[in-house]
Structure 1
Amino acid sequence: MFKKKNIIIFAMCLGVFLTLIDTTVMNIAMTSIQASLHTTLTGMNWALNIYSLLFAALAIPLGRFSGSIGTHKAFIFASLLFLIGSFISGASNSIQLLIVGRILQSIGAAVVLPLGMAIAYSTAETVEEREPIVAVVALTQGLAAALGPSLGGALTQYFSWRWAFFINIPIVIFIVAISLMTLEIKNEPVNSQKNDLVGSILSMFGLFSLVLALIQGSSWGWTSFNIIALFTFALLDLLFFIWYERRIDYPMIPMELFSFRNFNAASLVMIISTVFQVGIFIVLPTYYSKILGHSVVSSSVLLMAVSLTLTICSPVASMALRKVGPRITMFTGFILMGVAYALFGTITESSNIQLYIACLFLGAGYGLLLGPSQVLGASDFKGSLLTASQSVIFVFRQVGLVLAFAIFLSLFNSHIEQIGTTYTKITAFTSIYKTAVIIVFASSLLSLLFKRKIK
């Protein structure tokens, strides 16, 4: 039975890994895809961003509705939909078909991720047994974010950009096969609770508006009518959503989640830490390979340094959380990320060793924040509260990811255009992190939002 649990957890982690890695796998391959499909940069941006846009907007409502047909069945169906989307994306001969494939991928991913986490957690019989599983899932999420750009770049360089999508197919087949062999399918209980249709619609439209505004802000203009209207609509939608959810007996997101101090603090840390981590990952590979002229493999090896310390620190911090306490853990994590940003902000063309050291600090700092945030976000919740908490934490993580794209990528692209006038090849990169380092260190104060100890 123990081995069966481990197999289930492994399969679910693979599903989580695939859905998250496809958020950034296209980044470095965009130039190759654009040339292959003879499309515009605008079309490429939609192919890149539609995945994150729908993934964030649909994760909570689709995760909730999936219980009506059974969590295990829904996970398998969604995995197959993700497979179909991956095949269409890889085989596409036009930007329109690529966007269709990405849409199907995102719908499948919006179900696979929350249900994959819920199924993995359900293999534990006690909260104490669940904590290491939560830590492993959190580590999987961190590694997916770390490896996405490098994997996409390496596959593009040595095979074709199409393999950034085709590689999903055998892995999904493996996941579905494992699920059919190990999960209860025929007699699986279903959720008979009435679905919150109004809340689902409100959350979808609100999150869609927010994420679209963040994605398009730099190209449409942050003060343009469209962006201001989207932000205004998202805010009003949120207020009405909270008002409505408090007044019904079957809310899509139980508002009692937000009465837990550690859950609220973990949600905020998840957003902020993701911004800081992704803020490096979306810029560093492009800077190292395209601006400094190193190979994609070299940039992949550089990011492996992040993965190394992330792999070590995330599970260790999660397991030691009860002994050390959330405050010390979170404070240390932000300080280490601050050190990383300070190092990134002072590099020179010849300081490769400093880059590797910075990556090691970044991985360690993010590991101390990611795993514990996921554990604290799960708290002592069970059943529908546990599923809802993880869906909410994921959405906050996606918001952090999109915020990072909106802030760091737009700044970097702006700086690249000014190389030779305002910036050099080095300062186009370092100036971003010299400014941000103060904010990263200041974020360590968020540790005070947590309780001193957890029971």
Structure 2
Amino acid sequence: MAVVQFMVSVDLSVVNLGLPRIAAGLGFSAVGLTWVIHAYALTFGGLLLLGGKIADRYGLKRVLLIGLTVFGIASFAGGFAQEPGQLVAGRALQGIGAAALSPAALALLTVTFPSGKARVRAYGIWSAVNAAGGALGVLIGGVLTEYAGWRWVMFISVPMAAIALALAWRGVTAAPPTAPGGRPDVLGAILATAGMTLLVFGVVRTDQYAWTSPVTLGTLAAAVALLAAFVWVERSTSRDPLVRLGLLANRSVAGANSYNLLLGAAMASCFYFASLYLQQVLGNSPTVAGVQLLPFAIGVIVGAAVAVKLGYRLPLRTMLIIGGLVAATGFAWFGLMSADGSFLADVLGPSLVTSIGFGLCLGPVVSAATVGVAPRETGTASGLLSSSRQIGASLGLAALGTAAHAHTGQTTTIEGLTEGYGLGMTLGAVLLVGAVLIAFTVLPRTAASAEHGGHDLVAEPEQPGRHVGTGPSS
């Protein structure tokens, strides 16, 4: 499962350093180029809930293998794109495959390690590989773009998918479906994906149409209407809803996903602005910029390892508060970047601080969002968590990228670009402070359980005797 998640994470960031050459090779416009990222993130995030439901109904291993196959085919086709629409379509199909395989992989992890120290260690390894894949994807993308051509940022996923498929085929034990009845709510998935796509589309186009323009207001109003229709369908459908709204009444699930939304927004923005700063301001090649972002991967692994150790002693809420504050500090440091700066002075230090903070958050937020969920809803809970991060990544990149561009204006001077990137990083720090406030106010007070392991939750005092473990939720 770690190999599977590494592949998915790599594909989220592997295109970043290749974007300038992709634009030149296929003739993307400045606004159209962002859809190379958004097409993947939106289909991935928007369809994850459906992917989780399908995994619950038809079997985790079966859906995992199908998702890996679709992912590999999409990567192969996208590498041969001859025009912008073909590449965007390939990225969207990659997102569909990822939406099937990712919740199945996380649900398999949850089922295999239901409690105790093994669960804490498994989530620590999974979260470290997950985040390291995102960081290493930048390096891989830089090397491939410079020495093999931008098409290899798509082709590289083909052998990774093949390896993951072989490992999953042999290493994962098939089990009966956890929720074999009911029909998945396809209409709800379409409404959710379309609503989020319109929302991002409206935000991204504010560089052309003002926030108060009829075009922007109409687009955002349509997005809100689609999302409201999604909620109505989930409440009234005769099919198996994508997410049982009662699941969100669980404070731990609701708090973890809200936290994760802001965490995903900040993470995506960090890679985006840091890679642009290294290339556009400091003048580094894609390969050098990729190497300079490697400390980010190291910091995430260190943070995840520390989270495993502290997870036996500290409550989840405390871990998420600490991790969020550390990451916010790194973002604020990034916000001080200067036009005449250097890698050592403006990138290395904040990269390590930010990445360690992320590493401290990733394992605990997964555990908080899945522990205590009934076995029949493990795929749904996993899909909901992954969905919140991907949707957060797309919305965060759209909002912060637009804010940075608006601050920079039409200038292409080094100073103007630096100010825009610095503003984006500062806003990322604000998002993380918001995540910390959510952890403090929404997540329940919990205590580490010496008997069951650090991230198995003990209920709040007002619910005496009720253990929130791995059994069915009330």
Task: Give the TM interval when normalised to the shorter protein.
Answer: 0.7 to 0.9
Match of 2:357 in 1: 365
Letter in 1 for 2:183: N
Match of 1:3 in 2: none
Rounded to whole Å, the distance in 2 between the matches of 1:104 and 1:440 is: 31
**What residue number does 2:220 align with?**
231
Partner in structure 2 of residue 34 of structure 1? 23
CA contact (8 A) 1:314 1:372 kept: no
Which stretch has the larger CA shift, 120-129 or 253-262?
Answer: 120-129
Counterpart of 1:400, as a letter, is G
Distance, in Å, in 2 between the alignment partners of 1:117 and 1:155 is 29
Residues 213 and 393 (structure 1 numbering): CA distance in 2 closer, same or farther, change over 3 Å?
farther
> CA contact under 8 A between 1:217 and 1:227: conserved in structure 2?
yes
Q: Contact 1:265 / 1:446 at 8 angstroms: preserved in 2?
A: yes
Given the superposition, is the C-alpha separation of residues 58 and 447 from structure 1 closer, same or farther in structure 2, using an over 3 Å criterion?
Answer: closer
Alignment pair present for 1:356 and 2:348: yes
Change (3 A) 1:170 1:364: same
Q: Counterpart in 1 of 2:306?
A: 316
Q: Is the 8 A contact 2:326 2:357 kept in 1?
A: yes
1:264 aligns with 2:263: no
Structure 2 residue 294 is the aligned partner of structure 1 residue 301: no
CA-to-aligned-CA distance 1:65-107 (integer Å, 9 cap, x gap):
3444432222212211111111111122333332332232122
Range with bigger deviation, 273-282 or 59-68: 59-68
Judging changes above 3 Å, is the alpha-carbon distance between structure 1 residues 443 and 196 closer, same or farther for their aligned structure 2 residues?
closer
- AA partner of residue 326 (structure 2): L
- Spell out the pairing of 1:372-383 with structure 2 (5 A cutoff): 372-383=364-375
Which stretch of structure 1 is more off in the superposition, 420-429 or 406-415?
Answer: 420-429
Q: Secondary structure at the match of 2:384?
A: helix
**CA spacing shift, 1:47–1:175, aligned 2, 3 Å:** same
Tell me the CA shift for residue 158 of structure 1: 1.8
Q: Does 1:287 align with 2:277?
A: yes
Given that 1:56 and 1:208 are in contact with CA atoms closer than 8 Å, whether structure 2 keeps it comes out as: no
Amino acid at match of 1:225: P
Give the aligned partner of residue 110 of structure 1.
99
d(CA) in 2 for partners of 1:436 and 1:23? 18
Q: Say whether the 8 Å CA contact 2:207–2:405 is kept in structure 1.
A: no
CA contact (8 A) 2:52 2:103 kept: yes
CA distance in 2, matches of 1:37, 1:286: 20
User: Offset at 1:116?
Assistant: 1.6
1:404 and 2:396 aligned: yes
Q: What letter is aligned with 1:451?
A: P
Structure-1 separation of matches of 2:368 and 2:300? 18
TM superposition score normalised by structure 2: 0.83
Distance 1:190 1:283, change over 3 A: same
- What runs of 5+ residues in structure 1 fail to find an aligned partner? 1-11
- Which range moves more in the overlay, 27-36 or 366-375? 27-36
8 Å contact from structure 1 (residues 155, 164) kept in 2? yes
Q: CA offsets per residue over residues 343-362 of structure 1, 9 Å max, x none?
A: 22223424533321111110
In structure 2, give the amino acid aligned to 1:371.
Answer: G
Using the TM superposition, name which of 418-427 and 444-453 deviates more: 418-427
Q: For structure 1, which segment, 365-374 or 321-330, has the greater mean C-alpha deviation from structure 2 after superposition? A: 321-330
Deviations 1:15-47 (A, max 9, x none): 222223323322221221232234544554444
Distance 1:239 1:410, change over 3 A: closer
Q: CA 1:36 to 1:365, structure 2 compared with 1: closer, same or farther past 3 Å?
A: same
1:386 equivalent in structure 2: 378
1:73 paired residue number: 62
TM-score normalised to structure 1 length? 0.87
Structure 1: distance between partners of 2:90 and 2:395? 24
Is the aligned partner of 1:452 residue 2:445? yes
1:341 equivalent in structure 2: 331
Paired with 1:28 and 1:420, the residues of 2 have a C-alpha distance of 19
- Residue 252 of structure 1: which of 242, 266, 275 is its match? 242
Distance in 1 (alpha carbons) for counterparts of 2:33 and 2:420: 24
Match of 1:130 in 2: 119
For 1:345, give the aligned amino acid.
G
SS at match of 1:222: coil
Does structure 2 retain, via aligned residues, the 8 Å contact 1:217–1:406?
no
AA partner of residue 270 (structure 2): I
How far residue 307 of structure 1 moved from its aligned partner, in angstroms, is: 1.4
Contact 1:305–1:360 (CA<8 Å) still a contact in 2?
yes
Aligned pair in 2 of structure 1 residues 237, 408: CA closer, same or farther (>3 Å)?
closer
- Kindly provide the CA deviation profile for residues 234-264 of structure 1, in whole angstroms up to 9, marking residues without a partner as x: 4344444444434567432122221221222
Distance 1:422 1:290 in 2: 8
SS at match of 2:293: helix
| 2:264 aligned partner, one-letter code | T
The residue number in structure 2 matching 1:5 is: none
SS of aligned partner of 1:283: helix
Deviations 1:147-182 (Å, cap 9, x if unpaired)?
333321221012111111111111211111122223
Write the distance in 1 (CA, Å) between the matches of 2:177 and 2:244. 21
Pairwise CA RMSD of aligned residues?
Answer: 2.9
Tell me the SS of whatever aligns to 2:337: coil
Q: Tell me: CA distance 1:238–1:358, structure 2 relative to 1, closer, same or farther (3 Å).
A: same
Deviation at 1:280, TM superposition (A): 1.7
Letter in structure 2 aligned against 1:340 = G
AA paired with 2:445?
A: R
Give the fraction of aligned pairs with identical amino acids, expressed as a percent: 23
CA-CA distance at 1:190 after TM superposition: 7.4
Q: Which moved more, 1:126-135 or 1:275-284?
A: 126-135
State the distance in 2 between where 1:109 and 1:430 align.
32
- The answer on 1:195 being equivalent to 2:188 is no
